[in-house]
Structure 1
Amino acid sequence: MALIDPNKLIILDRDGVINEDSDQYVKSLEEWIPIKGSIEAIADLSKAGYTLCVVTNQSGLARNYFDESTLHAMHKKLTNLVSEKGGIIHTIEYCPHGPDDNCECRKPLPGMFKKIAETFELSDLSGSYTIGDSARDLVAGCELNSQPVLVKTGKGLKTLSATNHPENTLIFDDLNAFAKHLLSSHSLKN
């Protein structure tokens, strides 16, 4: 039996969805800056009973742009900010590998998504949402039947204009707009 309701599972990319992205990589705690409304959106979804997980490629580790203690400090900042607003992030999965490392976890491969499914004893991620700003985020989630959601923050507008995202992708201005939509449609069902 699944440990959670897969219809209440939301899997978030990090850079460009939760925090500002940078082509030079987010390398320090000072460079980790939340996108306006993203922390509140995560907290609101959490308080409404959604399980929130983060999956993030962090090839900056393999490139030696920052170390794991810096990455953990960024993630601690994220979880603390969400906690201060009354929410919780259940898990953060990250791929520390570079693009040429031939790992199974680097998006668009579904390794981190498979780990989340295993954690919650789900055969796949049907009913869940995968939110990202790039096609590789969405493709990885689709591998396990998660509903793709593209946000226009980060690389989202570029992804949208490239039209290389999955066909059934839902599109929102940002994470906050998605949360408001989901929570308002959820309240209509109750």
Structure 2
Amino acid sequence: MTKSGELPKRRRAGHAGLAWNSPNLAGEQTLALSSPDFGNEGAIPAVHASTRVGGEDLSPALTWSSAPGGTAQLLLVVEDPDAPTPMPFVHCVALLDPSVTGLAHGALGAGSPSDGVRVLRSGIGSGYFGPAPPKSHGPHRYVFQLFALATPVTTSSSRALESAKPRDVLAAAGDVLARGRLDGFYQRT
């Protein structure tokens, strides 16, 4: 039994709820997604963590292979499946022009996204929100997922796409031509 206000160390959202595992976001082809800031399964540098935990909320630089022909839009989703929540915590959702093949540091900032980047609502506000796992909760996996979509994302709700809940945006996406994934870890002690 835990004391009031403490998080159970074993409580995690789990990988099943990741966008990657959504049937509507399955794709046959692969996009090679990478970052010069950390390797797949590597540690995410502190500068990319949330300002709440001493970082700068600076989105990492990302690069990927060219999207296949017929791509209308790219969807980038960053999630934490180790969050002590019912579903993975969404750290970023962005729509990208299909001609974009990389993002510079900070390109996912809500106040100044790069050309060809449309940042949407995440779990907290909009734009990139860096890792901020609970203290002493162990390492958290941050899953950067990129989907090449054959049709642009539109939502059926009356709210604008920028204010739509992340899960509504993910549910509205489909016709995935290719996808890529990059996992990084961050831990607070």
Q: Which category describes the TM-score, using the shorter chain as reference length?
A: under 0.3
Taking structure 2 as the reference length, the TM-score comes to 0.28
| Larger strand proportion of the pair | 2
RCO greater where, 1 or 2, for CA within 8 Å and sep 6 or more? Answer: 2
Return the TM-score normalized by structure 1.
0.28
